[in-house]
Structure 1
Amino acid sequence: MGTRLRETLLLHGLRLLHKFDARQPAPHRLGTKAIRRILAISSTAIGDTLLSTPALRSLRLAYPQAQISVLLNTDYTALFANNPDIDEIIPYAGGYRRFLRLACSLRRRHFDMVVILHGNEPQATPLAYLSGADFRFKLPNNNDFRFLLSNHEAEHGWDAFAHGIDQRLAVAALAGGAPTDHRMTLPVAEAHAAALDQRLASRGITGKATLIGFQPGASTISRRWSANNFAELGRRLLARYPDCHLILTGSPKERKLAAGIAEAIAAPRVWNTAGELPLAELPALMQRLALLVTGDTGPMHMAVAVDTPVVALFAVSDWQCSGPPAGEKGSRHFVIQKWRTCTPCLSKRCPYAEPPCMANISVDEVETAVTDCLAGKPGRVSRASAPPEIFL
């Protein structure tokens, strides 16, 4: 059965079910001890889920006695296992896989409220409704299933929010969440830090060494800086800083990409950790780095969450929506923002092996940002005006 047909059948079935729904939740229960069980949905990528952690803290502050369960992408549950604002993690495989089984499982938990912080449609909102919870909140709420939400009357799209964290905090506020800041939560377990120390020692890397991280991979090709540029930058940094080591990070799928960069740098002070470190140890590595050079990636958000400076490279995406808090007083993050080269931008379906928009970021300007960061200079945002577009 095709995805579109499943969505159509689900939509019509839920419209019929909703027509006979007799639930009449009392709004005065929000923000009180009457809310005992909360389900938060943040079931997409690592970075998306990290952006949800301030909203989880908002809910914990407002509902200290409540059981807060979080529906997370199955692959990333280990990363959030020690988050103090989460009582239970429910693994989520995504799509329509085991959809009805999951809906029944959620219903048996008797949630009072569901907050969709970031989840793919058309599954997220139907799951919230089928859970049986009296209250269901989501922003943006402009999809076909919005009639199932408690906040369906005032319609909002993504353009209503300055940053992804603002969007999630707005959802928490609808649910009675307490005010909080934009800090992301990513605790580093002592055991994972100790394991990392042993790995570093086995490679002869002492505590005094300066570790510079490279994250060459990204969720889409359009967000990747070229491997050749990373290799050239690596050679320059090793020559400039005799005590530094380069740490290449990434997932198992990105190990070949990182290995090619390590081979091109051709130096002993390079460690390719992509696919080698367990995901749960990655926060400890990010905390140990002096800085991370990265595109718009989950590891970028991890580094920011553990207070490690980043040199973040943006073109397809807008740093103001998904980047670190660069440019603010006291920020140590450096952002280089270029323009979208192609019209229309195909983003996830970028046809280029090396996207021309990311190629507009030169090795020279990244090297300057790295040296300024290591020198302790304040973070900054470097923008460039766009030339005429390439029409695809």
Structure 2
Amino acid sequence: MLPLSSPPQSICILRLSALGDVCNLVPSVRAIQKHWPRTSITWILGQAEYTLLEGLSGVELIPYDKKTGLAGMWRLRQQLKGRQFDVLLHMQQAIRASLLAKLAISAPIWLGYDSARAKDKQDWFCNHHLPPHPKAHVLESFLDFAYALGVPETPLCWDIPINEAAEREAFSWQPQTTEYVLISPCSTQRTRNFRNWSASGYAQVIEYLYHKYGLVTVLTGGRTVQETEYAQSIRHAVSTPLINAVGQTSLKALLALIRDARLVIAPDSGPVHMATAMQTPVVGLYATTNPQRAAPYLAQPWVVNKYPHAVQTYLNTQVEAVTWGQRVRHPQAMNLIQVEDVIARLDALIQHTA
């Protein structure tokens, strides 16, 4: 517990990325707001993340584009010049973020992760640290910041706003005569970041959902070449109705599409956490990351979890022997997921939510 003698007047949060992570962080913000409604909250976050959360009630959102380098850091310093926060919640575990904070953010209390969870020497920059929390989910790690301030546990709340323009945009992609499933087949492209399941697997699942449940699929994703090609491969492999919105929606419209979907299917990526924020049922596909740490928080029963199998197959050990955040960086790991595995989770989820 931090030595706060009274509610802080101002809190600065530094968490730049990623889309899923900022969704997991919002309940911590809401918990602080509920406990200290008069405390002002400023959140420095990435450009895409800002677009997703824009309009978040009671929060000053300041976008920062990490691609701008030192020039962007200096602009943020000028933007915050003369401002003193009571507390900095340093939630971004990267040396670049720590340097940004040192350059631009003034606060007497810097709260960061404990040494077991800190990366890139983040704990060196902070004068207060979270108590240990072994094997915490990402969302729980963010809540730990609120609890360290003295905020009590409270029911999870997101309440991420969607504007009218995004509502209209989402409506234009929705089938008007039937319920739909939203599939976001790709995760963000990163070096040795193997999280994507096969296009043929998705195609078989799409056919199954249409023939058994009458559910049309809406494909979503970004504008990268990889995502466009994935969508084309899936489109060519199915004969059932399919709406391809890949690369053609804003993040707010995607949020609305997720909210209104019967269910969502995606790998370890932003949309599974956006689904949780919108209280939409979601089946997450996991093999290269540990779902106990990173799966959609309220949907653990519906996760297709091949992570233990991947650890055994490609790391030659048992899941109990690897560190909590260990990734399986093998291009074939997601192929451990079988179509039958996904269908089994979908059937269970649909029956549970009928």
TM range, normalised to the smaller chain?
0.7 to 0.9
Q: Say if 1:234 and 1:199 are closer, same or farther in 2 by CA, change over 3 A.
A: closer
361, 368, 371: which one aligns with 2:347: 371
Say whether 1:196 aligns with 2:167: no
> Is 1:361 aligned to 2:333, yes or no?
no
State how 1:1-392 maps to structure 2 within 5 Å. 27-29=3-5, 31-32=6-7, 35-86=8-59, 88-94=60-66, 96-97=69-70, 98-117=72-91, 119-130=92-103, 131-141=105-115, 142=118, 143-152=120-129, 156=132, 160-200=134-174, 205-206=175-176, 208-219=177-188, 221-241=193-213, 243-253=214-224, 254-267=227-240, 269-325=241-297, 334-338=302-306, 339=308, 340=310, 341-343=313-315, 350=329, 352=331, 355=332, 357-376=333-352
TM score, norm. by length of structure 1: 0.76
Paired with 1:144 and 1:52, the residues of 2 have a C-alpha distance of 22
Q: 1:47: Cα distance to partner?
A: 0.2
CA contact (8 A) 1:38 1:112 kept: yes
TM-score of the aligned structures, taking structure 2 as reference length: 0.83
Q: 2-side partners of 1:226 and 1:128: how far apart?
A: 40
d(CA) in 1 for partners of 2:152, 2:298: 25
| SS state at 1:376 partner | helix
Contact kept in structure 2, 1:319 and 1:335, CA below 8 Å: yes
Cα pair 1:186 1:302 within 8 Å, conserved? no
Aligned CA RMSD, in angstroms, stands at 2.8
Identity of aligned residues (%): 24
Verify the 8 A CA contact 1:112 1:135 in the aligned structure 2. yes
Distance in 1 between residues matched to 2:54 and 2:298, nearest whole Å: 28
SS at 2:194 equivalent: helix
SS at match of 1:252: coil
Which blocks of at least 5 consecutive residues in structure 1 are unaligned?
A: 1-25, 379-392
Q: Which moved more, 1:51-60 or 1:174-183?
A: 174-183
C-alpha separation in 2, matches of 1:351 and 1:315:
10
Mapped to 1, the partners of 2:111 and 2:206 lie a distance apart of 46
Q: Which has the larger radius of gyration?
A: 1
**Cα contact 2:169–2:249 (8 A) shared by 1:** no
How big is the shift at 1:266?
Answer: 3.9
Give the paired residue count: 331
What letter matches 1:244 in structure 2? Answer: L
